[in-house]
Amino acid sequence: MQNKLNRLPKELNLVKNLKKVLKRHHPRTVVPLGDDAFVFKSFSEKTVVAQDLLIEDVHFKRSYSNSADLGHKSLAVNLSDFAAMGAKPHFVHVSLALPNDISEDWLLSYYSGMTSLADSYQVEVVGGDLSLSPGPIMIDVNVIGEVAHPITRHGAQDGDWLAVTGSLGTSHAGMLALQKELYIYAEATQKHLRPNPRLDVAAILNKHNLNTETVHAMMDCSDGLVNDLFHLTREFELGVELTEAEIPISSDARHLAASLKQSPIDWALWGGEDYELLLAIPPNKKDELKYIFENANLDLLFIGKFNTTGSLALQKIDGSLESIKEFQGWSHFRE
Amino acid sequence: MQNKLNRLPKELNLVKNLKKVLKRHHPRTVVPLGDDAFVFKSFSEKTVVAQDLLIEDVHFKRSYSNSADLGHKSLAVNLSDFAAMGAKPHFVHVSLALPNDISEDWLLSYYSGMTSLADSYQVEVVGGDLSLSPGPIMIDVNVIGEVAHPITRHGAQDGDWLAVTGSLGTSHAGMLALQKELYIYAEATQKHLRPNPRLDVAAILNKHNLNTETVHAMMDCSDGLVNDLFHLTREFELGVELTEAEIPISSDARHLAASLKQSPIDWALWGGEDYELLLAIPPNKKDELKYIFENANLDLLFIGKFNTTGSLALQKIDGSLESIKEFQGWSHFRE
């Protein structure tokens, strides 16, 4: 957008309206939107970059995601990556390829949805690109920010607790509810359409100067618990024993699963898109973390322990131990 | 890619092969490809960001652009934005949405085309995303780098010379030649498929510590000369008188235009995608710049002068002055 929005003189009104929606003033900006590139005063801390695609009919359907939802979600999934590093986001680039039936109102509403999330974190949309798409809506968002002490996915150790910051499977329940037009499941549909990036958790970790001594590893839970544990275990160099009774399931997921005769635990294991954070916490830091999260009014649920088995197991509510052997839900190039 | 390539355990071979193609070691890298986000040691100079889309059947056709060409071009158009700011690129994020008929070989060849350009400037591919596309190929590339003294589009003044670093209309000639399968126009087709970002010009400006006192404004010529002058004149706050005799036309463009009974000057004015640089140079710096460029074996052609008319005119070879009134070649959302 830094250059391309300005390349459409027949669309000057659109450009002017968009600039009105996007206009902010970040103190680090040197060359703003409207030039060949965006320039800002470099951070004193390390620089962080995340970039994520949302493709129509792969990641969302226009039938149940409106443009403001998409503006929110396409930024939120990147902010979630920032939360997972303990990082602070600043600048957003948005590339949109849009079919020619998309209206100017759609576009303005997309940016409104995005800026209303961005403004809550003093994040600014500063550039990107805009093109016709001869096919689906394609959205690619890049976020740049800073971090003092990045927490990676790779530091979990044998004996660490596995903790999660909120319910799992809720977004999957929300997606099913949307597809079935069951709008009473409002918490779940909201979590699917407008996920909440856990920057509040990152902020608490930073406030208490918690680094990789206290949190060995962290990542956001976007592909379902099992798929994400593939990374936290370093491709099964470690294993994890999950405790079914401790896995947080929302009431929406519980009720919808009951009515569909499905298992809400399966949704938690395989569903994805909850954008909660997964943390690997050494045993001697568990109480400190619990105390800090409780005082900040944030959830932290201890749902399993890392071990050296190189595999995943689920301790069922009846006490039996079930092996989780097979990956499910992946397909070629599917996010 | 930092996270998504790793989310495809059934595609582990693909991921491993891609990592082989991409593997580099940038001295600033703190958290490499393979985590929630990419982290690097911040630059001491200002940070620069550019992001550009390439969409199949809007910006290119698969019938004449192979995947290595696309890897090159999708990076080159962003590096051209860096050249236009006088900036140095470092890190690349690539998002690809690909139809399911795209093979692993296509993808590896795409990244090979990109890295062979990236390596010539010590630029490294460090992240991005990968998704299925239910429609066309969509490519979105983000480049991050640094600049000491950014040169913007906005500093041209009345009386400045307008200069360009190479021939105009050649890429348009190349596109027509490709569409007509006239492969003898190899220079033009190459310029269209594998444009050369003018980072050599940016490097010379930096080597001589030339800032906005010597180059009032700069931008890359990507949408055709007239469309780009819309920006260099600050939306016609200024005007420009072009001299037809001075506009550099390549022999390929001249010959193809003659055989098609079209005007190569029209291609230069409206064609786009040449990715040469346009510079606004104060009269008292013209000789210094000429001398510097000649010594570096770089072209710098003085094709017009800025004035206060608020419009564009072309001094024809016969001496007459023709007004350039109407914008051409734009359509809704077209790049």
Instruction: Report the pLDDT averaged over residues B277-296.
Output: 98
Note whether A75 and A187 are same-domain residues.
no
Q: Is A276 on the interface with B (CB under 8 A)?
A: no
Task: Identify the burial level of B329 via C-beta atoms within 10 angstroms of its C-beta, where 0-12 means exposed, 13-18 middle and 19 or more buried.
Answer: middle
Report the CATH number at residue A190.
3.90.650.10
Q: Determine, yes or no, domain membership for A335.
A: no
Instruction: Report the pLDDT averaged over residues B218-226.
Output: 95
Rounded to the nearest integer, the mean pLDDT of chain A is 92
Note whether B11 and B129 are same-domain residues.
yes
Contact call for B85 and A39, based on CB within 8 A: yes
Q: Determine, yes or no, domain membership for A284.
A: yes
Note whether B185 and B270 are same-domain residues.
yes
Percent over 70 (pLDDT), chain A: 93
Which pLDDT belongs to residue A22?
85
Contact call for A136 and B134, based on CB within 8 A: yes
Contact call for A42 and B47, based on CB within 8 A: yes
Which pLDDT belongs to residue B34?
85
Instruction: Report the pLDDT averaged over residues A277-289.
Output: 98
Q: Determine, yes or no, domain membership for B155.
A: no
Instruction: Give A 239-268 residues with CB within 8 A of chain B.
Output: none
Note whether A268 and A174 are same-domain residues.
yes
Q: How far apart are CA A119 and CA A298, in angstroms?
A: 22
The domain tally of chain A equals 2
φ, ψ of residue A74 in degrees (nearest 5):
-65, -25
Which residues of chain B make contact with A14, given a CB cutoff of 8 A? none
Note whether B101 and B203 are same-domain residues.
no
Which of A25-34, A250-259, B81-90 bottoms out in mean pLDDT, i.e. has the lowest? A25-34
Instruction: Give B 44-73 residues with CB within 8 A of chain A.
Output: 44-53, 55-59
Pick the closest to residue B334 from B215, B209, B224, B193 (CA basis): B224
Give the predicted TM-score (pTM) of the model: 0.93
Domain edge (last residue) among A147, A182, A216: A147
Please determine, for residue A20, whether its predicted confidence score (pLDDT) is greater than 90.
Answer: no
Q: Determine, yes or no, domain membership for B335.
A: no
Please determine, for residue B325, whether its predicted confidence score (pLDDT) is greater than 80.
Answer: no
Which pLDDT belongs to residue B13?
67
Which pLDDT belongs to residue A326?
62
Note whether A90 and A182 are same-domain residues.
no
Distance from CA of B48 to the nearest CA of A (A): 4
Please determine, for residue A331, whether its predicted confidence score (pLDDT) is greater than 90.
Answer: no
Instruction: Give B 302-331 residues with CB within 8 A of chain A.
Output: 327, 330-331
Note whether B168 and B303 are same-domain residues.
yes
In this prediction, the answer to ipTM > 0.90 reads yes
Q: Determine, yes or no, domain membership for B177.
A: yes
Which pLDDT belongs to residue A320?
96
Note whether A165 and A109 are same-domain residues.
no
Distance from CA of A316 to the nearest CA of B (A): 26
Instruction: Give A 208-227 residues with CB within 8 A of chain B.
Output: 218-220, 223, 227
Query: A20 or B90: whose pLDDT is higher?
Result: B90
Contact call for A130 and B91, based on CB within 8 A: no
Q: Determine, yes or no, domain membership for B331.
A: no
Instruction: Report the pLDDT averaged over residues B167-187.
Output: 96
Contact call for A219 and B36, based on CB within 8 A: yes
Q: How many CB pairs under 8 A join A and B?
A: 283
Note whether B172 and B318 are same-domain residues.
yes
Distance from CA of A319 to the nearest CA of B (A): 30
Contact call for A51 and B84, based on CB within 8 A: no
When pLDDT is cut at 50, 70 and 90, the band that residue B118 belongs to is: very high
Please determine, for residue B17, whether its predicted confidence score (pLDDT) is greater than 90.
Answer: no
H, E, C per residue of chain A: CCCCHHHCHHHHHHHHHHHHHHCCCCCCEEECCCCCCEEECCCCCEEEEEEEEEEECCCECCCCCCHHHHHHHHHHHHHHHHHHHCCEEEEEEEEEEECCCCCHHHHHHHHHHHHHHHHHCCCEEEEEEEEECCCCCEEEEEEEEEECCCCCCCCCCCCCEEEECCCCCHHHHHHHHHHCCCCCCHHHHHHHHCCCCCHHHHHHHHHCCCCCCCCCEEEEECCCHHHHHHHHCCCCCCEEEEEHHHCCCCHHHHHHHHHHCCCHHHHHHHCCCCCEEEEEECHHHHHHHHHHHHHCCCCCEEEEEEECCCCEEEECCCCCEEEECCCCCCCCCCC
Contact call for A53 and B97, based on CB within 8 A: yes
Q: Determine, yes or no, domain membership for A117.
A: yes
Contact call for A144 and B11, based on CB within 8 A: no
Could you tell me whether strands B312-315 and B321-324 are parallel, antiparallel, or unpaired per DSSP bridges? antiparallel
Which residues of chain B make contact with A273, given a CB cutoff of 8 A? none
Q: Is A9 on the interface with B (CB under 8 A)?
A: yes
Which residues of chain A make contact with B211, given a CB cutoff of 8 A? none
Domain edge (last residue) among B86, B112, B147: B147
Which residues of chain B make contact with A6, given a CB cutoff of 8 A? 230-231
Please determine, for residue A4, whether its predicted confidence score (pLDDT) is greater than 50.
Answer: no
Q: Is B42 on the interface with A (CB under 8 A)?
A: yes
Please determine, for residue B3, whether its predicted confidence score (pLDDT) is greater than 80.
Answer: no
Structural domain boundaries, residue A263: 161-324
When pLDDT is cut at 50, 70 and 90, the band that residue B326 belongs to is: low
**Partner-chain residue, chosen from A42, A98, A330, that has the shortest CB–CB distance to B333:** A98
Q: Determine, yes or no, domain membership for B330.
A: no
Note whether B126 and B171 are same-domain residues.
no
When pLDDT is cut at 50, 70 and 90, the band that residue A329 belongs to is: very low
Report the CATH number at residue A99.
3.30.1330.10
Which pLDDT belongs to residue A19?
80
Pick the closest to residue A225 from A334, A312, A123, A121 (CA basis): A312
Which of A75-79, B254-258, B261-265, B324-328 bottoms out in mean pLDDT, i.e. has the lowest? B324-328
When pLDDT is cut at 50, 70 and 90, the band that residue A6 belongs to is: very low
Which residues of chain A make contact with B139, given a CB cutoff of 8 A? none
Note whether B66 and B166 are same-domain residues.
no
Which pLDDT belongs to residue B64?
94
Please name the residue of chain B whose CA is at the shortest distance from the CA of residue A277: B36
For an interface test with A, the pick among B5, B35, B144 (most A C-beta atoms closer than 10 Å) comes out as B35
Please name the residue of chain A whose CA is at the shortest distance from the CA of residue B99: A333
Note whether B21 and B131 are same-domain residues.
yes
Which pLDDT belongs to residue A10?
47
Please determine, for residue A134, whether its predicted confidence score (pLDDT) is greater than 70.
Answer: yes
Please determine, for residue A9, whether its predicted confidence score (pLDDT) is greater than 50.
Answer: no
**Partner-chain residue, chosen from B37, B231, B330, that has the shortest CB–CB distance to A48:** B37
Domain edge (last residue) among B147, B177, B193: B147
Please determine, for residue B91, whether its predicted confidence score (pLDDT) is greater than 80.
Answer: yes
Rounded to the nearest integer, the mean pLDDT of chain B is 92
Please determine, for residue A178, whether its predicted confidence score (pLDDT) is greater than 50.
Answer: yes
Q: Is B126 on the interface with A (CB under 8 A)?
A: yes
